[in-house]
Amino acid sequence: MKSAKQRKPKSSSKKPAVGKKRTGFTAEEKAAMKERVRELKAGKGGGESEVLAKIAKLPPTDRALAQQVHALIKAHAPSLEPKTWYGMPAYAKDGKTICFFQDAHKFKSRYAMLGFSDKAMLDDGNMWPAYYALKQLTPAEEARIVALLKKALD
């Protein structure tokens, strides 16, 4: 029998056994965290030029949605400052993120999302949505987003 010094330690870099879930962050989550660190080191999160650059890099379907969301926010909530947040287009008030656009490919989701932070104060009773799935924007969805933005800015 080998002594404790002679045994090789088990490597934690192995893939999890079949049927066991991997713990820790996914590659996409790690990339988002690294982007957030870069944003914090750079200052305010890039401003509108960086937001537009991020939107331009998105896959076509998500890019079209992000452009529509950006235009809605600029038109109906011009006081919100464009910035990036974890590498996503986001909009802030007094430096605090109010809402953000998460493309479907960011975390391998089925759809893009428009998310609102707790700073948006969309509280409605004991439970309310903070993320909205986006597949396309019709006038009905646009009106709903505008209403949410107005509530967030009140």
Residue 20: inside a domain: no
**Confidence (pLDDT) at 11:** 45
Residue 11: inside a domain: no
Task: Output the six-digit token pair for 122.
Answer: 């969309």
User: Residue 107 is part of which domain span?
Assistant: 27-153
| Chain position carrying tokens 């800015």 | 153
- What is the tally of structural domains in the chain? 1
Q: How confident is the model at residue 16 (pLDDT cuts 50, 70, 90)?
A: low
The side-by-side arrangement of strands in the sheet containing 96-102 is 81-85, 88-93, 96-102, 112-116, 131-134
Q: What is the pTM of this model?
A: 0.75
Residue 118: inside a domain: yes
